[in-house]
Chain A
Amino acid sequence: MDEHYLYFAGIDGGGGGANASADAGLWPASRFIGVEPITSTTTGIYFRSGVGDVDGGGGAGDLVTVTHADTHDTSGSYHRAKLIAEMMAEYANPAPHKAGQTYTIVDADEGVYANGIDSIVSDSGFDIVITLDS
């Protein structure tokens, strides 16, 4: 299958290291669902869960929460959700023939960031937290 993958490794309040559950995550790009602002300083990146249940009627997929600056009412700016959404669309649809390739979206451990999100890494409080469905 001509699938490529998206990698996130978080700060999560200063921890990380990609050596424990939810320190980092790799998802097939085809499981990417979408992006939505959560608060003025957080944006959710959603993936279809590998669990596939509905958790007793509620349910949620896998979530990468990005914490960033509050720019929603800054003149000439926009809520960071739009920048993150544009970036995710770009990496969900890379050039063809990229099967097996991993794209690093955020790797706070190694300081590697995808185009677009690299412009907000300097935001005060910038962080990502990975929440996996269970």
Chain B
Amino acid sequence: MANGNFLWFAEADVQESQDALMVAQKNFLHADPVSGGVNLYFKDIEGNEAARETVKLSCTNGNQKDVMEAFARIMGSHPHGNGPMIVVADYNVANSQTAIGAHAEFRGLVTAVTIS
């Protein structure tokens, strides 16, 4: 059984809880534009039905719709299942490496990721 895409987000220093997150695309709830970015909401990874995961993709004001449309296209990748984990945004530099950055589908509009 294919279980859909899985999405990876990582902040600049991946060390502990809420520094990085891998979530199922099927648990995506909705996106909400905020000043300086877009908040993506997912069902809580710990299964708490009274909570949710929030991932903010930072962008310049005015680009929120483009970011949301790009994210929708990313989530729709590998429509026939069996796809690998998709790195949506990975800014980790704790390992002294250059950050991978955001998925190419964003065309440079996303500049950071914050998990809360």
Contact = CB atoms under 8 A, between A and B. Distances in A.
Interface of A: 1-4, 29-30, 32-40, 44, 46-49, 54, 57-63, 71-79, 81-82, 85-86, 88-90, 92-96, 98-99, 133
Contacts of B1: 1-4, 29-30, 98-99
Contacts, number: 138
Interface of B: 1-4, 6, 8, 10, 13-24, 27, 43, 45-50, 81-85, 92, 94-97
Contacts of B47: 33, 46-49, 59-62, 133
| 9 closest residue pairs by CB, A with B | A61-B47, A85-B22, A89-B85, A35-B22, A89-B6, A2-B1, A79-B14, A34-B23, A59-B48
Which applies to chain B's interface (DSSP): helix, strand, loop or mixed?
Answer: loop
A37 B96 CA distance: 19
B8 A29 contact: no
8 contacts: A4-B1, A37-B16, A59-B46, A59-B49, A71-B95, A82-B10, A93-B4, A93-B81
A61 B46 contact: yes
Nearest to B13: A72
Nearest to A56: B50
A47 B47 CA distance: 7
Given A81-B20, A82-B20, 5 more contacts: A72-B14, A75-B96, A79-B20, A82-B8, A90-B84
A84 to B, nearest CB: 8
Contact of B85 (A4, A44, A78, A85): A85
Given A59-B48, A82-B20, A96 B2 contact: yes
Contacts of A2: 1
A83 B11 CA distance: 16
B21 A36 contact: yes
Given A30-B3, A40-B15, A78-B92, A86 B85 contact: yes
